[in-house]
Amino acid sequence: KSVRSRVTNIKEHLKDDISIEEFKGAIRDAVAELQGDNFVQYELTKEDLQEIKALMEERYLSWEWNYGQSPPFNIRNWKRFAGGKVEILLEVEKGLITNCKIYGDFLGLVSLSDFEEGLRGIRYEEVAIRDYLKKQDLQKLFGSIGREELLSCLLGR
């Protein structure tokens, strides 16, 4: 039996359509009312903002945080380009591509099996995939479909 998610969109529970700034103000006012005379609004300093930015860059923008700890997932992307249709099926575990299958009606000259196999073990991130594509003879593999087009399909853009 499925467990109902405890995550919701706050907007669905509001009577009126209010802006983010109005919502933040309402939250602040409610906390101030609860705290009474003990309420003090803290203003972030330059140092606070620098520390927040450093934490964001060191931890939350890292590949490990965004992909390395993620559960396994499957991706199915397809796009039609002037050179034909490309459909890509990927399996990703711990942020690494574990399986790849590509279909399409593009005019490639060679089998894609080595290309698909080569994607296994690569991080599912733009830089790693772009580096892999740079090392491939994409014209033989995908005809007139270029690197940026293929990258957009691999990344679902």
Mind listing the pLDDT tens digit for each residue in 17-54?
888 899 999 999 999 999 998 999 899 999 999 999 99
Domain match, 77 and 131 both = yes
Domain match, 51 and 77 both = no
Domain match, 129 and 95 both = yes
Q: What is the pLDDT of residues 46-98, one digit of tens each?
A: 999 999 999 999 888 887 777 777 788 899 999 999 999 999 999 999 889 99
Helices (H) and strands (E) in the chain, counts: 7, 3
Tell me, what's the pLDDT at 2? 57
Domain that holds residue 34: 19-61
Q: How many C-beta neighbours within 10 Å does residue 32 have?
A: 14
Domain match, 88 and 133 both = yes
On whether residue 79 sits in a domain, the answer given is: yes
Domain match, 78 and 132 both = yes
**Rounded CA separation 137/148 (Å):** 14
Q: Give which of 125, 132, 137, 143 is closest to 86, Cα–Cα.
A: 143
On whether residue 36 sits in a domain, the answer given is: yes
Angle (deg, nearest 10), helices 147-155 and 126-134: 150
